[in-house]
Amino acid sequence: MIGVKFDSAMFAKEMEGLMEYSVGFLEGAKAGKNKLLEEIGKGVKEILAEFIDANARVSPNTMHHVYEWYQTGSPQARLFDIEYTVSSKNGLSLNSTFTQSLTVSKGSSTPFYNKANVMESGIGMVIRPRPGGVLVFEDNGETVYTKKPVSVQNPGGAEVQGSFKKVFDLFFQSYFSQSFLYSSGLAKHLSTPSSYNQNISSAKTGGKRAGYRVGYRWISSGSVNI
């Protein structure tokens, strides 16, 4: 006769410790989420700006309005800022605002006020000559002189209007999920929580508290490789 002595009380205790460890791990990961989102926000902010620069260099006719005159695609000439916010309620949010142009276009003597926003939004405008002066501009290859106000329905043209938003959205619709998550190492880190198994021995004695520490360290240690 073969018999096996099974300590059910010990087994139940270890199972309870493991369950508590698992619960603690999930709670720790949730608590450390904002720290990871901060890291992601920093990385995405930089990569997104570079993504916009690259698209501008490829298509300068549609993206010149969000850069200083004749410097399309240059990081030093951007007329946009990208900021991110992290909150427990909304997670990670990224937003962009336009800045004022300081350079002057050919044929002008003053910067184009609100250039990026006006062209991106397709806001119509009226240009008036200074008192006693005249407006001089090119129209279909001809130089025009006039003392009358000139109405411009869409300063940037149809191909410019909304182009910045399209590139901004394109980043998150395709590049972020198809390239950034993998090239940055985030996808691998989040899909392989190896620290859970590596520290599972502490579940017997540490329970939920040990799981919380491990979960927090795992999620908050995620880094973005740019």
Task: Give residue-wise pLDDT tens across range 66-111.
Answer: 999 999 999 999 999 999 998 877 788 999 999 999 999 887 778 8
In 3D space, the residue among 68, 55, 121, 122 whose CA is nearest the CA of residue 99 turns out to be: 68
- Got the DSSP string for 58-79? H-HHHHGGGBSTT-TT-GGGB-
**Cα gap 112→100, rounded to integer Å:** 8
Phi, then psi, of 163 in degrees rounded to 5: -70, -35
**What pTM did the predictor assign?**
0.71
pLDDT at 223: 66
In this predicted model, what pLDDT tens digit does every residue of 152-176 receive, in sequence order? 666 767 889 999 999 999 998 888 7
Asked whether 100 and 93 are in contact (CB, 8 A), the reply is no
Q: Return the higher-pLDDT residue of 130 and 4.
A: 130
Q: What digits encode the pLDDT tens for the residues 21-48?
A: 888 888 888 888 888 888 888 888 999 9
d(CA 143, CA 138): 5
Q: Is the pLDDT of residue 61 over 90?
A: yes
- What spatial distance separates the first Cα and last Cα of the chain, rounded to whole Å? 65
Q: How far is CA 174 from the centre of its chain?
A: 13
Q: Cα angle at 138 between 132 and 144, to 5 degrees? A: 45
